Structure 1
Amino acid sequence: MKQRKLEMLLEQVEGFNSPDASLEQYTTPAPIAAELLHFAYMKGDIRDTVYDIGCGTGVLAIGAKLLGAEIVTGFDTDHYALQIADKNARSMNVDVDFICKDISNISGEAQTVVMNPPFGSQVRGSDRPFLSNALKLANVIYSIHNKGSKNFIEKFISPAVVTEWYRTGFPLKRTFKFHKKDVEQIEVEIYRISQSL
């Protein structure tokens, strides 16, 4: 499936009804979700089992299934978000399991983890548990982070390595009262992390 077609399909995924600022519950925009997933797909990393940790309303998990992943599971602590994720998956006619679980309690083994963790804007270091646990769950991780995170990520994940990364624009829609613009374009970095070369 081409990236643009995937993006058009993911535009149908419903976002949060009542996002929580402390959890940094921003809906991953369809263009960014499609970009990350297509990147992973072209590297051969969307085939077997894919975990989406901190899945919110399920855009990355649903996209992974649309690209042909055999087994996809989304994890989040917000059961309301997971109800929307389940509804989204059913409306897209894909089979994705959504499990309500704290990041520290996720276990199992996946080929690939995809995630858009909190950037740490509200709670400093909130992306760290996501990175730590992703490394326990899969050999390959795709993750979105704030611009300028590369040095921190390389040190934090060692001995795993960043095999590829690039910067892209993230259209952040007004979600909370403290947002001043309807859409603010922020720069983010998408990383491919591997535990084996």
Structure 2
Amino acid sequence: MKQRKLEMLLEELENFSDPELELEQYQTPPPLAAEILHFAYMQGDLDDSVQDLGCGTGILAIGAKLLGAKRVIGYDADPKALEIAKKNAEKLGVEVEFVLSDINDITEHVKTTVMNPPFGARVKGRDRPFLSSALRTSEVIYSIHNRGSLAFIQKFIKPAVITHSYVAKFPIKRTFDFHKKERKVIEVEIYRIKVSG
């Protein structure tokens, strides 16, 4: 499936109905989700088992399944988000397991993690448990972080290594009361991390 086709399908998905500020619930924009997933697909990282940590409404998990991943599991601690994710998977006719779980309780091992963890804008270090869980349970990780996170991520993930990184645009629609603009574009960094071992 071409990247543009994937993007168009992902644009059909329902977003958070009532996002939680403390959980930093921002849906991964469909163009960015399609770009990351297509890159992972081209690297051969979506051919087996895939998990989406903090899957929210399921956009990355569903996209991975659309690109042919054999088994996809989406984990989230918010039951409302998982309800939307299940509806979204049904809408596109894909089978994804959605599991209500705290990020620290995940033990099942998969080949690849795709995730858009909280950036830690509200609570510093919010992305760390997601990285720790991914490092513990997968061989390859694709993760989205605030621009300027490279040095921290490199240090945090050792002995795992970043094999690829690039800057991308992440448009955020006005979601919460403190947002001044209808749409703000921030720059993020996408990392592909290879877990050693």
Q: TM above 0.5, one fold?
A: yes
Shift of 1:195: 1.4
Shift of 1:196: 3.3
Alpha carbons 2:56, 2:76 under 8 Å: kept? yes
SS at match of 1:22: coil
Alpha carbons 2:159, 2:196 under 8 Å: kept? no
2:148 matched residue in structure 1: 148
Amino acid at match of 1:59: I
1:98 matched residue in structure 2: 98
1:174 matched residue in structure 2: 174
- Matches of 2:172 and 2:43, distance apart in 1: 27
- Matches of 1:152 and 1:108, distance apart in 2: 26
For structure 1, the 5+ residue unaligned runs are: none
2:15 matched residue in structure 1: 15
Map 1:22-171 → 2, pairs under 5 A: 22-171=22-171
SS at match of 1:87: helix
- Matches of 1:102 and 1:23, distance apart in 2: 12
CA RMSD of aligned residues (A): 0.8
Shift of 1:164: 0.4
TM-score in terms of structure 1 length: 0.99
- Name segments (4+ residues, structure 1) moved above 6 Å: none
- Matches of 1:195 and 1:53, distance apart in 2: 16
- Matches of 1:161 and 1:103, distance apart in 2: 22
1:47-100: per-residue Cα shift (whole Å, max 9, x none)? 110000000000000000000000000000000100000000001000000000
Amino acid at match of 2:163: T
Shift of 1:111: 0.7
- Matches of 1:128 and 1:193, distance apart in 2: 14
SS at match of 2:120: coil
- Matches of 1:169 and 1:84, distance apart in 2: 25
- Matches of 2:15 and 2:28, distance apart in 1: 8
SS at match of 1:166: strand
- Matches of 1:33 and 1:190, distance apart in 2: 11
Amino acid at match of 1:162: I
Amino acid at match of 1:178: F
- Matches of 2:12 and 2:110, distance apart in 1: 26
Shift of 1:107: 1.1
TM-score in terms of structure 2 length: 0.99
SS at match of 1:186: strand
- Matches of 1:56 and 1:177, distance apart in 2: 20
Amino acid at match of 2:176: F
Amino acid at match of 2:68: G
- Matches of 1:102 and 1:7, distance apart in 2: 29
For structure 2, the 5+ residue unaligned runs are: none
1:4-40: per-residue Cα shift (whole Å, max 9, x none)? 1100000011110110000000011101110110110
Amino acid at match of 1:85: A
Amino acid at match of 1:46: L
- Matches of 2:118 and 2:196, distance apart in 1: 26
- Matches of 1:180 and 1:37, distance apart in 2: 31
